[in-house]
Amino acid sequence: MSKKLAGRKVAVIGGTQFIGRAIVEILLEEGASVILINRCKTKLPSSFVQNDTGRVKVLRCDRFRQRQRFREILKRISPVDVVDMLAFNKSAIEDVVYGLKENRKYGCRYVFISTDSVFMASAREEISLQSRPHGLKEADTVLPTREQRKMLRKRNRYQYNYGKGKFDCEEFLLSEHNKNGFIFTTLRLPDVMGPNDNIGSFLELQIRLLKGKRIKAKTSSQNNTISLVYAPDVAKAVLSILAVNDGFLVDSETFHVSMDEKMSFAELTLAMAKTLSISKPNLDMNKENDLVTVDCGAIDNSKIKTVLDFKPTTLHEALKATCEWYQNPENVKHTEELAESSSSTSSSSSSSSSSSSSSSSSSCSSDSDT
């Protein structure tokens, strides 16, 4: 069987942890050559090396502190498809657009990984007036007024700032597409679960369930529902975007990537408890949970299913794979170390691992080696 990306070159900004790792693995499986652009803080996963056969190159660059170097790297490796895990504000996208000026001539695509936290920076009054039985749609983001921004910051400052940064990225990409024909696709993700977790929220939930500890389970969100996505499904969505035959289906489009199931946090906890064969979890329905990151309700994934025939993993299958992965003490250690490192640094998910070379990792190159 022919591979979908045979002969293609794809740069992944980030790419060694959790979602990025799943994306790189599927790119390699489908025949692409991969260029990783990151700070080289995390040793390359063994799966990269096993699928490598000379198709993985790593370029060391801190895009936030070395903006000009980052731009020059993108210019030198172009034309190239790019998957960006680490753009958090407009200036990051400005660097990408500058570095990928030549991409449009060759039809190369930029895939921007965004978040449902953009709705935490959207006008709440507008969202709440819309009837969305299947969740919020891609077009439901609404720029807030000055007064609305004040209310949104007061409601949840961290998620507002994070969501606003991603919202600004989305708006700037659309502007560049309309003015200069920049080719991009945006994927919006809700909270993510799956193997190789570097966040730790679902690990903590599993530990509390297994130890019979009290779990705060109240959810203050629109319709009391949330959405989730399985990390390997994000990789499948990226593959679908890069491999699509008709670019008009995905150019300048935004897609919500999530499971079909919409649930309350209590329902999620009960589903995980069932997966772990726990019959009576200790739920406290009077205390607000601290795992769910947004309170705007679930998102609608019908667009990507219709346009790209995308079939998400079921909640049952995702929970089973996630819980099984955590049964290995080494995997628990992996998540705990990365989660601790991330919480003590920036939102760019820095790693606790050393960047020293070993037999199981490719060495990093400076930008002058490109």
**Parallel, antiparallel, or unpaired for β 253-256 and 228-230?**
unpaired
Q: What is the model's pLDDT at position 224? A: 78
What mean pLDDT value characterizes the chain?
88
242, 10 contact by CB (below 8 A): yes
pLDDT, residue 295, reads 85
Q: pLDDT tens digits for 106-138?
A: 999 999 999 999 999 998 766 655 557 789 999
* pLDDT score recorded for residue 325: 95
pLDDT at 221 over 80: no
Q: What is the CA radius of gyration of the chain?
A: 20
344-367 confidence digits (pLDDT tens): 544 443 333 333 333 334 456 554
Q: Following DSSP, what letter does each residue of 311-352 receive, concatenated? A: -PPPHHHHHHHHHHHHTSHHHHHHHHHHHHHHHTS-TTT--S
Give the lowest-confidence range in 85-89, 128-132, 142-146, 271-275: 128-132
CB neighbour class for 327 (10 Å; exposed up to 12, middle 13-18, buried from 19): exposed
Query: Could you read off the pLDDT of 28-80 as tens digits, one per residue?
Result: 999 999 999 999 888 888 878 666 667 999 999 999 999 999 999 999 999 99
d(CA 75, CA 154): 41
Task: Give, in order, the Cα–Cα distances in Å from 150 to each of 54, 124, 127, 218, 221.
Answer: 51, 12, 17, 25, 19
- Top pLDDT among 124 and 272 is at 272
Q: How far is CA 125 from CA 118, 132, 250, 291, 292, in A?
A: 15, 14, 29, 25, 21
Q: pLDDT value at position 350?
A: 33
Token pair of 338 as six digits: 């990365």
Q: pLDDT-derived band of residue 204, with 50, 70 and 90 as boundaries?
A: very high
Strands 191-193 and 253-256: unpaired
